[in-house]
Chain A
């Protein structure tokens, strides 16, 4: 079954680019989805199916996969982007798998 590995935390300065990774064996053969969760709130989808932005999500958010790593990229980071970011896949054996959801801190 799939295991998704994310770093515990990331930090970035306002206006810079944040890259949050999600590692998994053969992750390119899965559809990867990304969620943003702010304190006290339910998660919201920011990227679906590797690189598709749902309606209402700013173009600053993008997703990609290379090798065994999926990456969520946030360009021109704003203070309001500070949140936990979870990757998620569906695996035939385990069904739904979430990553650890590192906290992005905007410093």
Chain B
């Protein structure tokens, strides 16, 4: 059974760096094809993909936020960490981590298992 859970602060100040941890079980980030992504959702707004890290340490980022985002993994702890620098009130959102779902013979992928989300408010 695959599970994921986000942890981190609920409140950060403007200009601070946000660090969120995704702790997962039921799969290994050492396995070929596996990936963990981060998606956020401002209150009342749509889902927005942020980043994804693959089993081979390849990391992909939302182009408009690439300069502010870093995603890393610790396979020994079954964790993925997202850092986002220079936080602003517009970054207030629920941040989700999710398992990359894919079929080997099809292009593209989805997110088939999600964490419960971590609401982060950016305010002084």
Contact = CB atoms under 8 A, between A and B. Distances in A.
Given A43-B114, A54-B112, A90-B108, A49 B52 contact: no
B68 interface: no
Interface string A78-107: 000000001011100011111111000000
Nearest to A88: B110
Given A42-B115, A42-B117, A95-B62, A48 B47 contact: no
Contacts of B39: 96, 98
Contacts of A31: 106-108
A53 interface: no
Interface in A3-41: 30-31, 33, 35, 37
Contacts of B112: 45, 48, 54
A42 B47 contact: no
A49 B117 CA distance: 25
Interface residues of B, number: 25
Interface of A: 1, 30-31, 33, 35, 37, 42-45, 48-49, 54, 86, 88-90, 94-101
Given A31-B108, A100-B46, A101-B46, 4 more contacts: A33-B110, A45-B112, A95-B61, A96-B49
B116 interface: yes
Question: What is the predominant secondary structure among interface residues of chain A facing chain B?
Answer: strand
Q: Identify which of A89, A95, A97 gathers the most chain B CB atoms within 10 Å of its CB.
A: A95
Given A31-B108, A96-B52, A42 B46 contact: no
Contact of B116 (A42, A45, A100): A42
B108 A89 contact: yes
A101 B49 CA distance: 13
B90 interface: no
